[in-house]
Structure 1
Amino acid sequence: MFSARLKAIAQPVLADIENHPFVRGIQAGAVPAAALMVYVEQDTCFLDAFAKVYAGALSKCTTKDQMRFFEEQIRYTLNDEAGAHQILCDIAGQKLSDHQHAKQRPITYLYNEHLFNALRTGDLIDLIAAMLPCPWTYTEISQQIVDGAAPDNPFLPWIEFYQPQPGQIDGSMVKTLFGMVDELAIGLSEERQHEIEQRFLRSCELEYEFWEQAYYQKDWKYKN
C-alpha cells in the first residue's frame, strides 16, 4: 500500500513531533501560557486556510462520495475545531475571542502556501498528501499522550478531542484519506509517487515547525 510508504518515510519527523517540548508539556500537564496563545492564534489562521483548501478539493473530486467527504470536513473544520482552542484558552486563562484575529507568523504562512500550492498545481492525490499530515500526526500524538497522561491533567479534554471517536467524522477521516491515497496511487509512475511523498513529508516537517513556532513564540524578525 502506498499509504504505508508515506507513513514509513515520515517516522523520523513523527518521532521528533512526539518528543517536542510542547507536546511533552501537554502530556505532563504544563505548557507556558504564551506558547498556548501563539498556538491558538496561528492554528486559527491555519484552519481558515485548511477549510479553503478542503473547499478547493471539491473541484478535483471525481465521485459524489469524495465530494460528500470533503463537504463534511469543511463543516467540521469551520464549526467544531474551535472547541480545541477553547480548551487551551481556558487553561491559559484567556478569552478565545481575543486571539482569533492574529496575523500569520512565518511557519503558518509557509504551511498555508504549501497547501495552496498543492491545490493550484496538483491533482487530488497531491492535495490529500499535503493535508493528511495534520490530522494524522494529531491522531498519533494524542494516542501517545493519552497513554501517559495523569487523570487530573488539565489538557486531557484537548487530548481526547483528537482521539478517534466511533461514529464521529473525525474518527474515520484519517483512515478515509489514506484509503483515497491508496486508490488514487494505483498505476502512478515511481516519479509521480516520489512527488507525492515529498508533499506529504514537507507537510510533516511543517507540522514539527508549527510546534516549534508556538513553543518558542517565533515571529517575523522584520515587521512593522
Structure 2
Amino acid sequence: MDFCEKARQQTAYFWEASFTHPFVTGIADGTLPLEKFTYYMLQDAYYLKHYSKLLAMLAAKATEEADVAYFLESAHFIREAELELHRTTFRELGVTTEMMANFEPAPAAYNYVSHMYQAFFTGTIAEAYAAILPCPWLYQEIGVRLRGATPNVKLYDEWLQLYGSEDMERKIGEQKAMMNRFAAMPGNDERTLLEHFKRSCYYEWQFWEMSWTAQTWESEVYMK
C-alpha cells in the first residue's frame, strides 16, 4: 500500500463527513442558500491566495527541475484561473469592494492556512505537500461523486463542472504520484506525514461547517 492509499484509508471518516455535509449536498441539489455560498467564496479566496503562495514557496524546496516547474506553473494557474473565477463569481453574488475590504478570515480558515505554513516552515517538502494535497484531492472526489447532479443554479453547476472534470481527475492522479514519490524519500517519517495529511482533512471538513454556520471569532466565544 503506497502512502496516498494509506492516508486516504486512515482519514476516510473526514472524507465521508465532507461528502455528506449539508453544505456540499446543498450545492448538489441546488438548495444551498446563496448567502452561505457567498461566505464560502470569500473565505475560499483567502485560502487560495495563501495556497498559491505555498506552491510558489515549494518551488524553492524542490530539488528536481521538473518539480520546480510544476510548483511554479500550479501557483500561476491557481492565481490566474481559480482566482479569476472567484472575481467573476463575486460580481454575480454582488460582493462589493467594501465587503472585501472588511473581510476577516474565520477561525477555521485561519487555522487551516496556519497549519499549512507550519508544515512548510518546519518540515520537509514531503511534509509540506502532505498538508496541501487533501484540498484538491477531496474536491476532485466530490466532483466525481456529484457528476450528474442538477442543482439548476448557475454558480453551483459551474462549481461542479470545474471539480468533476476529467482534466481535474488527471491532475489529481499526477499529484498523488508526486506525493508518493516525496513520501518515499529518505529522512521522512510516515507518521508525521500522515498527521499533516489528517489535520488538513479535518480542516477541509471544518471549512464546510464554517461556511454552513457563517463562523466568526465572536460566534466561537458565544457557543462555548
TM-score, with normalisation over the residues of structure 2? Answer: 0.88
- 8 Å contact 1:125–1:181 — kept in the other structure? yes
Unaligned runs of at least 5 residues, structure 1: none
- 8 Å contact 1:129–1:199 — kept in the other structure? yes
RMSD: 2.3
- 8 Å contact 2:3–2:180 — kept in the other structure? yes
Paired residue total? 217
Q: Give 1:172 shift.
A: 3.2
Q: Which residue of 1 aligns with 2:118?
A: 117
- 8 Å contact 2:127–2:196 — kept in the other structure? yes
The partner residue of 1:206 within 186, 203, 207 is 203
Q: Which residue of 2 aligns with 1:177?
A: 175
Q: Give 1:85 shift.
A: 2.9
Q: 1:174 to 1:100 in 2, by over 3 A?
A: farther
* Structural mapping, 1:91-102, within 5 Å: 93-95=93-95, 99-101=99-101, 102=103
Distance 1:59 1:18 in 2: 34
* Structural mapping, 1:72-111, within 5 Å: 72-85=73-86, 89=90, 93-95=93-95, 99-101=99-101, 102-111=103-112
Distance 2:91 2:23 in 1: 17
**Letter matched to residue 216 of structure 1:** T
Q: Give 1:52 shift.
A: 1.2
**Letter matched to residue 201 of structure 1:** K
Q: Which residue of 2 aligns with 1:68?
A: 69
**Letter matched to residue 194 of structure 2:** E
The partner residue of 2:191 within 184, 190, 194 is 194
Offset from partner CA, 1:36-80 (integer Å, 9 cap, x none): 111011111111111111111011101110011101111111111
- 8 Å contact 1:36–1:89 — kept in the other structure? no
Q: 1:165 to 1:100 in 2, by over 3 A?
A: farther
Distance 2:124 2:96 in 1: 36
Q: Give 1:118 shift.
A: 0.8
The partner residue of 1:217 within 210, 214, 218 is 214
Q: Which residue of 1 aligns with 2:150?
A: 150
- 8 Å contact 1:87–1:158 — kept in the other structure? no
- 8 Å contact 2:27–2:151 — kept in the other structure? no
Q: Give 1:90 shift.
A: 6.4
